[in-house]
C-alpha cells in the first residue's frame, strides 16, 4: 500500500523540506527477508553497559549471534576476559567515545534502589544520539512482582517507563527500544529473544516490556538455522494478508503448514498452497462442527504449531450494531479459537514442546470506537492465553498472543484517506506495519528458542500511542 511520506523520506531534499514544516517523515525500516542465519548480528556493533547478575551468559549469547561487542562499566572486566578466552574481539569503550553504533544493550538486572536509576542516565545520556538508523536498544530487568521490597519493586517498574519513553525519542530514526523482564532462573532462555529483538526481524516492535520466564523448560539444542525443520503448523485464515505471510515464513524456516481457510476462498488459498507446498484445509472455523473436523484432519500426524489468525471485523457503534454482527465477531475471533484449541489439547494432538500463537489486537488492549464487539473478542484472546499458558507448560507448550497495531492490508486500504493517515502516524515509528512484521513475530514465537516467553502479549504496533 502506498505511503507518500515514506516516498518523501527516500529523497533527502524533500525530506528536509517536509521536516522543516513540522510533518513527521518516517524512516524506512530495515527488514530481513532471508531465512534465519547462525549469526544474525554479524557486522553489527552492540554497546553493552549496566550492572547485572549474569554477564557470562550475556557475553556468550552475544558472541553466538556474531555481534561486534563494545563494553563499558561494570561488565567490562568479565566481557574482556571472556572474549579473550574464546578469541572473540571485545572492545572496551573509553569515556567520550564517538561514532555510530547499531545497538545498545543495558543490563539493569542488578538494580535494587532508586539511586540505581542514575545508571540509566549515566549510560544513555551521553550516547543516545549515537544510535544508528533502524538501530536497537534492549534493556534487561528483573520482574517487579518477583520482589517483596517496596523500593526495589518501584525501581524495577521505573525502568519500563524509561524504556517506553526512549522508544518514542528514537522512533524518528526507525530505531526501537524494548525491555526484557528476566525472571531469576530464566537467563538460560535469553539468547533467542535477544537475537530477535536486536535484529531487523523485530522492526515493528517498539516500547514493549516482554517477560522471560522459566515456566517452560528450554529444549536443547536450540537450532537457529531452519528452526522449524520437521515441524507441522496449522495456520487459520491462511489465504490472504497476514495469514498468507505467516504461512510463507513458517515454510521458509522449515515447517510444513496446514493452511486453513473458508471454502469460499479455495481459489485464493490455492495460490498460497502452490507457493508454499502447504496442505490445504477448507473449513469455516465458526461452523458448529469446526473443532471436530479440524481435530480429525490433524489427528493422525498431530501438530507442533497452532496459529489462530482467522478473524473478522464487524464495525458499528454499539447503538447501531445488529446482534448478528456482535455474534459473528465473538464467534469467529474468540469462541472458535477456544473450541479448536481445547479440542486439540483434549485429543493430545499438540506435540510436546508445541507452540500456540493467537492474533489479538491493540484494540483488545485500548478499545476502539465502533469496535465493541471486536475489542471484546481480542481482549478475550488475551485472557485465554494468560490462563491456558499455565495449564500446558508442563508439556513444554507455550501460549502467546500478538497484538498488531496499524498493519497495511487490504482492510486498511479501504479506510478513508485521512483516517488511514492518522492511523499510520500514531506510533513511535510514524508508519504502518506490514503483514511480514506479524509473520516474523509468529515465526519467532513458534521457534524452540522462544520457550522462555509464554502467557504473554507481544504488541507489534510500532509503539502505538493507543493503550498501555
Q: Would you state the pLDDT for residue 413?
A: 72
**Structural element, H or E, at residue 328:** helix 323-330
CA distance 310 to 294: 14
- On the question of a common fold for 41-212 and 232-460, the answer reads yes
Tell the CATH superfamily of the 232-460 domain. NAD(P)-binding Rossmann-like Domain (3.40.50.720)
Backbone angles phi, psi at 324, to 5 degrees: -60, -45
CA distance 274 to 290: 24
In what side-by-side order are the strands of the sheet with 457-460? 279-282, 256-261, 232-236, 303-308, 350-359, 398-404, 457-460
Query: Which residues of the chain have a pLDDT value below 50?
Result: none
CA distances in angstroms from 97 to 2, 92, 166, 311, listed in the order given: 40, 10, 21, 50
Q: Would you state the pLDDT for residue 150?
A: 98
CA distance 260 to 71: 48
Contact 176, 356 (CB under 8 A): no
- Exposure string over 179-201, b if 16+ CB within 10 A, otherwise e: bbbbbeebbbbbbbbbbbbbbeb
Structural Rg of the chain based on CA atoms: 22
Q: Would you state the pLDDT for residue 311?
A: 94
Tell the CATH superfamily of the 41-212 domain. NAD(P)-binding Rossmann-like Domain (3.40.50.720)
Write the CB contacts of 140 (distance below 8 Å, at least 6 apart in sequence).
50, 52, 58, 105, 106, 107, 108, 109, 179, 180, 182, 190
Where on the phi/psi map is residue 370: left (φ > 0), alpha (ψ -120 to 50), or beta?
left
Burial class (CB in 10 A: 0-12, 13-18, 19+), 13: exposed
Q: How far apart are the first and last CA of the chain?
A: 28
CA distance 146 to 31: 35
Pairing of strands 303-308, 232-236: parallel
Q: Would you state the pLDDT for residue 10?
A: 64
Contact 358, 384 (CB under 8 A): yes
| Annotated domain spans of the chain | 41-212, 232-460
Q: Does the active-site annotation cover 181?
A: no
Task: Pinpoint the alpha helices (H) of 51-175.
Answer: 55-65, 76-85, 118-124, 150-170
Amino acid at each position: 500500500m502506498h505511503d507518500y511520506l515514506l516516498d518523501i523520506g527516500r529523497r533527502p531534499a524533500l525530506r528536509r523540506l517536509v521536516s522543516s514544516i513540522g510533518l513527521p517523515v518516517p524512516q524506512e525500516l530495515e527488514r530481513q527477508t532471508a531465512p534465519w542465519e547462525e549469526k544474525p548480528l554479524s557486522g553489527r556493533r552492540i554497546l553493552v553497559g549496566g550492572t547485572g547478575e549474569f554477564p557470562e551468559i550475556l557475553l556468550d549469547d552475544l558472541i553466538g549471534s556474531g555481534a561486534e561487542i563494545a563494553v563499558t562499566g561494570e561488565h567490562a572486566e568479565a566481557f574482556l576476559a571472556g572474549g579473550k578466552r574464546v578469541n572473540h574481539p571485545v572492545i572496551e569503550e573509553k569515556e567520550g567515545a564517538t561514532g555510530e553504533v547499531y545497538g545498545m544493550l543495558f543490563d539493569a538486572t542488578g538494580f535494587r534502589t532508586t539511586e540505581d536509576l542514575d545508571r540509566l542516565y549515566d549510560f544513555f545520556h551521553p550516547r543516545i544520539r549515537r544510535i544508528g538508523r533502524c538501530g536497537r536498544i534492549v534493556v534487561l530487568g528483573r520482574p517487579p512482582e518477583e520482589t517483596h521490597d517496596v523500593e526495589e519493586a518501584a525501581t524495577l517498574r521505573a525502568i519500563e517507563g524509561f524504556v517506553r519513553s526512549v522508544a518514542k525519542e528514537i522512533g524518528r530514526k526507525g530505531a526501537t527500544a524494548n525491555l526484557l523482564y528476566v525472571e531469576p532462573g530464566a537467563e538460560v532462555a535469553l539468547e533467542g529473544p535477544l537475537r530477535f529483538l536486536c535484529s531487523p526481524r523485530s522492526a515493528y516492535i517498539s516500547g514493549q516490556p516482554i517477560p522471560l520466564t522459566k515456566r517452560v523448560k528450554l529444549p536443547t539444542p536450540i537450532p537457529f538455522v531452519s528452526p522449524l525443520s520437521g515441524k507441522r503448523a496449522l495456520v487459520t485464515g491462511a489465504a490472504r494478508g497476514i495469514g498468507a505471510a505467516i504461512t510463507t515464513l513458517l515454510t521458509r524456516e522449515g515447517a510444513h503448514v496446514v493452511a486453513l481457510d473458508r471454502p469460499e476462498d479455495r481459489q485464493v488459498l490455492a495460490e498460497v498452497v502452490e507457493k508454499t507446498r502447504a496442505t490445504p484445509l477448507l473449513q469455516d472455523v465458526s461452523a458448529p462442527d469446526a473443532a471436530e473436523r479440524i481435530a480429525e484432519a490433524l489427528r493422525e500426524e498431530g501438530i507442533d504449531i497452532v496459529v489462530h489468525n482467522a478473524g473478522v471485523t464487524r464495525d458499528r457503534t454499539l447503538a447501531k450494531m445488529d446482534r448478528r454482527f456482535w455474534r459473528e465477531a465473538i464467534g469467529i475471533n474468540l469462541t472458535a479459537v477456544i473450541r479448536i484449541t481445547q479440542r486439540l489439547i483434549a485429543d493430545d494432538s499438540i506435540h510436546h514442546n508445541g507452540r500456540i500463537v493467537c492474533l489479538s489486537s491493540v484494540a483488545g488492549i485500548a478499545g476502539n470506537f465502533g469496535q465493541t464487539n471486536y475489542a471484546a473478542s481480542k481482549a478475550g484472546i488475551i485472557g485465554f492465553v494468560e490462563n491456558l499458558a499455565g495449564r500446558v507448560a508442563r508439556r513444554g507448550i507455550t501460549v502467546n498472543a500478538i497484538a498488531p497495531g496499524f498493519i497495511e492490508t487490504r482492510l486498511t486500504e479501504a479506510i478513508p484517506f485521512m483516517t488511514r493517515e492518522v492511523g499510520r502516524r500514531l506510533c513511535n515509528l510514524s508508519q504502518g506495519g506490514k503483514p511480514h512484521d506479524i509473520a516474523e513475530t509468529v515465526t519467532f514465537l513458534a521457534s524452540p528458542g522462544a520457550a522462555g516467553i509464554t502467557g504473554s502479549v507481544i504488541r507489534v504496533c510500532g509503539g502505538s500511542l493507543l493503550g498501555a
